[in-house]
Chains A and B, each alone.
Chain A
Amino acid sequence: MQLDIQRESGGIREESARRRVRNALLSQEAILFAILMIAVVVLASRSPNFLTASNLLTQGRLMAEVALVALPMTFIIITGGIDLSVGAIFGLCAILLGWTWDNICLDPLAIKTRGMECAAGFPLELAIVAALIAGVLCGLVNGWFIVRVKVPPLIMTLATLALFRGLAEGISQARSVRGYPDWFYQLGQGDLFGVPTQIWVVIVAAIVAGIVLSRTTFGRSLYAIGNNETATRFSGIAVGRQKMIIYAFSGAMAALAAWIFVSRVSTTRSDMGTGLELDVIAAVVLGGTSIFGGTGSIVGTMIGVVTIKLLQNGLSLAGVTGDATIIIVGAVLILAVLINGIVQRRSGRS
């Protein structure tokens, strides 16, 4: 008897271990990583310029903005929400950064007009801070309406997508700002220990976000909200506060990404970040975060970002017009959700 039970439990343990290994191998992250590796091998064989350190570092530089905004987007989609306004916040913050620096005079305190004497201009450091604060405020506006007025996230962020982009256009009057001081370009164009500066920012942000999501009560509560919001509320979690925080975080990261972007391209325009939301959502969904909420991880999102960027880069090295590589983003987005849905349905989870 005793032996039987032992043998049985041993069997169960063995089986559950095997299942765990199988689950890990079949997880979205693992499948995605395999696809990424295959893509890298294929692309490397097609173009000798692809798998070189300098190309990969350049690609890393180019994917920093999407990667940063994808972190809070992962949080938001896990809770079952969405933020379509990130591209518009990105544009508004870029404009605020350039416009305040270029147009506001502190002594005398006024908005510069042509031929005006200005003893003390607006310091660029302060303009950066202003842009970051504006990003957080934009996110808080989204969060407040979604939480307090209960506007569905899709609609709220669609409305603010128009509003924030409109503010960017209105404030800038379609004028671009350039001619920043040299130190400003360090973040977007400079290197640190031989690696583009913004890649360090992305690595730090991704590690922090990954730990917060998987190892803290805050992070775990986001999954709970995505799985069953009502139950989460009844179990004493401040659902509204958590949501406000993640939408504000989204605005903050959009602003940070805008700062990096302006520093990288040396100019400010009001149409910056148009369509950014698409790249970001595609990367997050490709990374295995369910668009219905409840599942997802930062590791998956980062692999998603890298996969999309490398596929785009590979295509353009293969001679496809740069702009046309967005085809891959769209196709990948639809396929990822389609396959994810089929897999989920088969395993009976949905």
Chain B
Amino acid sequence: MTSMPAAAARSTSNGVLMTLRKIVASQEFALFISLITLIVLVGSVNSNYVRPNNLLSVLQGNAFAAVAAIGMSMVIISGNIDISVGSVVGVLAVICGNVSKAGAPDVLAWAVPIVLGAGVGAVIGFLVAYMRIPSIVVTLGLASILKGGLILVTEGREISGFNESFLIAQMRPLGISVPIIAMIVLTIIVAFWMRYSTFGRSIYAVGGNPEAARLSGINDRRVILIVFILNGIFVGIASLLFATQLDIIRATVPANFELLVITSSVVGGVSILGGVGTVIGSTLAAILLNAIGSALVFINISPYWLRAFQGLLILVTVLIDLFRRRRQGIGV
């Protein structure tokens, strides 16, 4: 009889151990450790790197990309991809700036890119979920249409001379800039929502095995449509942060932005095969990528090598993901 409580105690301690082991083995933990290691190593070479100011700018530099990566993570977890984010951000930023210049109140100017982002997401989602066009084709085509449209409409002119109250990304409530706050708050909310809500779980189900998800009563088309709309909202927020970070909005698509966002998601542990990953990972990865870029400057390596590092990093994480899956027997 006495063995009962002992067994129970052992199983709870096993449970705690299991959870601990799970945390330690997670991609998020690995990223966190890499980030700390990087900061310590580079800081010991060049102490300017660990100055609070620089660390804050490391946090802020990719914040808008991290916000977009939240949406991208959902899209990838659902088994799709979006390579139009760069063009969408470019277009929405210009529209946002023009609305403000036209004399609209700030709140309206801020809302416009978010609403339009949701609209663009709805179009992509409809074509992918209901017209059955692969997301890569839809977003590749859309990227081209928007990029061309941007050149056609703006003719490359830039917009400047905004009211100070419009530039939300430069505000610092509580001494921390808005992009950092947006990144952290949105990441936490979405992480909880994806883990504990029914809809959040159904995204994983659709990405992991669409057939099984459908058979268990999930409307997979609707899930994909909503995922793309949510992604559009996050892209909209990202473009708002991008548009207001400087006093000037250039009528160009931020170069290789989609690649940075996808890299953040993939390096953050979101499996490109669908069904796995968290937005905490993608945000940590976005920060890590910027930390690497900043570190290159501080240890005197040409920043032109940054993209090669990023490519290598994606490759390594994808391989680790594949080997992990194979060992667990999930299969590819």
Mark A residues whose CB is within 8 Å of B.
82, 145, 149-152, 154-156, 158-167, 169-170, 172-174, 275, 278, 281-282, 285, 291-292, 320-321, 323-334, 337-338, 341
- A-B contacts, 19 of them at CB < 8 A, read A145-B315, A151-B318, A151-B322, A163-B314, A166-B311, A170-B302, A170-B304, A173-B302, A173-B304, A278-B140, A281-B140, A320-B152, A325-B148, A326-B144, A330-B146, A330-B148, A332-B141, A338-B133, A341-B132
Task: Indicate whether B30 reaches chain A with its CB closer than 8 angstroms.
Answer: no
Which residue of chain A is the closest to B258 with respect to CB atoms? A158
Q: How far is the CB of A35 from chain B (nearest CB, A)?
A: 17
Bitwise interface map of B from 260 to 302 toward A, beta carbon under 8 Å scored 1, else 0? 0011001000001100000000000000000000000000001
User: Contact: B148 with A326, CB < 8 Å?
Assistant: yes
Instruction: List 17 other contacts, CB 8 Å, given A149-B319, A327-B149, A330-B140.
Output: A158-B314, A159-B311, A159-B315, A162-B310, A165-B307, A169-B305, A281-B137, A291-B134, A292-B134, A321-B151, A323-B151, A327-B148, A330-B144, A331-B141, A332-B141, A333-B144, A334-B141
In the bound complex, what is the Cα–Cα distance between A154 and B145 (angstroms)?
A: 21
In the bound complex, what is the Cα–Cα distance between A165 and B306 (angstroms)?
A: 10
In the bound complex, residues from chain A placing their C-beta under 8 Å from that of B134 are 291-292, 337
Task: Indicate whether B81 reaches chain A with its CB closer than 8 angstroms.
Answer: yes
User: Contact: A169 with B304, CB < 8 Å?
Assistant: yes
In the bound complex, what is the Cα–Cα distance between A329 and B263 (angstroms)?
A: 26
Mark B residues whose CB is within 8 Å of A.
81, 127, 131-134, 136-138, 140-149, 151-152, 155, 256, 259, 262-263, 266, 272-273, 302, 304-312, 314-315, 318-319, 322, 332
User: Contact: B143 with A330, CB < 8 Å?
Assistant: yes
User: Contact: B141 with A282, CB < 8 Å?
Assistant: yes
In the bound complex, residues from chain B placing their C-beta under 8 Å from that of A320 are 152
In the bound complex, what is the Cα–Cα distance between A323 and B136 (angstroms)?
A: 22
User: Contact: B127 with A164, CB < 8 Å?
Assistant: no
In the bound complex, residues from chain A placing their C-beta under 8 Å from that of B262 are 158
In the bound complex, what is the Cα–Cα distance between A154 and B136 (angstroms)?
A: 9
User: Contact: A337 with B308, CB < 8 Å?
Assistant: no
Which residue of chain A is the closest to B323 with respect to CB atoms? A149
In the bound complex, what is the Cα–Cα distance between A328 and B138 (angstroms)?
A: 14
User: Contact: A164 with B318, CB < 8 Å?
Assistant: no
Residues A334 and B311 in contact in the complex (CB < 8 Å), given A151-B319, A162-B263, A341-B133: no
In the bound complex, what is the Cα–Cα distance between A337 and B229 (angstroms)?
A: 22
Q: How far is the CB of A337 from chain B (nearest CB, A)?
A: 5
User: Contact: B307 with A166, CB < 8 Å?
Assistant: yes
User: Contact: A163 with B304, CB < 8 Å?
Assistant: no
Residue from B131, B144, B309 in contact with A341 in the complex, judged by beta carbons closer than 8 Å: B131
Q: How far is the CB of B210 from chain A (nearest CB, A)?
A: 15
User: Contact: A327 with B145, CB < 8 Å?
Assistant: yes
In the bound complex, residues from chain A placing their C-beta under 8 Å from that of B311 are 159-167
In the bound complex, residues from chain B placing their C-beta under 8 Å from that of A167 are 308, 311
Would you list the 9 A-B pairs with minimal beta carbon distance, nearest first? A163-B311, A166-B308, A330-B144, A166-B307, A162-B311, A327-B148, A330-B145, A324-B152, A334-B141
Residue from A155, A160, A325, A333 in contact with B141 in the complex, judged by beta carbons closer than 8 Å: A333
User: Contact: A163 with B302, CB < 8 Å?
Assistant: no
User: Contact: B151 with A324, CB < 8 Å?
Assistant: yes
In the bound complex, what is the Cα–Cα distance between A164 and B309 (angstroms)?
A: 10
User: Contact: B137 with A291, CB < 8 Å?
Assistant: yes
Which residue of chain A is the closest to B317 with respect to CB atoms? A159
User: Contact: B144 with A166, CB < 8 Å?
Assistant: no
User: Contact: B310 with A166, CB < 8 Å?
Assistant: yes
In the bound complex, residues from chain B placing their C-beta under 8 Å from that of A325 are 148
In the bound complex, residues from chain A placing their C-beta under 8 Å from that of B312 are 163, 166
In the bound complex, what is the Cα–Cα distance between A155 and B76 (angstroms)?
A: 11
In the bound complex, what is the Cα–Cα distance between A324 and B146 (angstroms)?
A: 9
Q: How far is the CB of A296 from chain B (nearest CB, A)?
A: 14
User: Contact: A326 with B307, CB < 8 Å?
Assistant: no
In the bound complex, residues from chain B placing their C-beta under 8 Å from that of A149 are 319, 322
In the bound complex, residues from chain B placing their C-beta under 8 Å from that of A275 are 144
In the bound complex, residues from chain B placing their C-beta under 8 Å from that of A281 are 137, 140
Q: How far is the CB of A284 from chain B (nearest CB, A)?
A: 11
User: Contact: B141 with A330, CB < 8 Å?
Assistant: yes
In the bound complex, what is the Cα–Cα distance between A41 and B262 (angstroms)?
A: 43
In the bound complex, what is the Cα–Cα distance between A338 and B144 (angstroms)?
A: 17
User: Contact: B314 with A159, CB < 8 Å?
Assistant: yes
In the bound complex, residues from chain B placing their C-beta under 8 Å from that of A337 are 133-134, 137
In the bound complex, residues from chain B placing their C-beta under 8 Å from that of A323 are 148, 151
Which residue of chain A is the closest to B153 with respect to CB atoms? A324
In the bound complex, what is the Cα–Cα distance between A259 and B143 (angstroms)?
A: 27
In the bound complex, what is the Cα–Cα distance between A161 and B262 (angstroms)?
A: 12
User: Contact: A154 with B272, CB < 8 Å?
Assistant: yes
User: Contact: A163 with B151, CB < 8 Å?
Assistant: no
In the bound complex, what is the Cα–Cα distance between A301 and B233 (angstroms)?
A: 37
Q: How far is the CB of B265 from chain A (nearest CB, A)?
A: 11
Residue from B138, B149, B263, B307 in contact with A334 in the complex, judged by beta carbons closer than 8 Å: B138
Which residue of chain B is the closest to A350 with respect to CB atoms? B132
Q: How far is the CB of A113 from chain B (nearest CB, A)?
A: 16
User: Contact: B152 with A174, CB < 8 Å?
Assistant: no
User: Contact: A338 with B131, CB < 8 Å?
Assistant: yes
Which residue of chain B is the closest to A160 with respect to CB atoms? B311
In the bound complex, what is the Cα–Cα distance between A173 and B136 (angstroms)?
A: 31
In the bound complex, what is the Cα–Cα distance between A317 and B314 (angstroms)?
A: 42
In the bound complex, what is the Cα–Cα distance between A333 and B131 (angstroms)?
A: 14
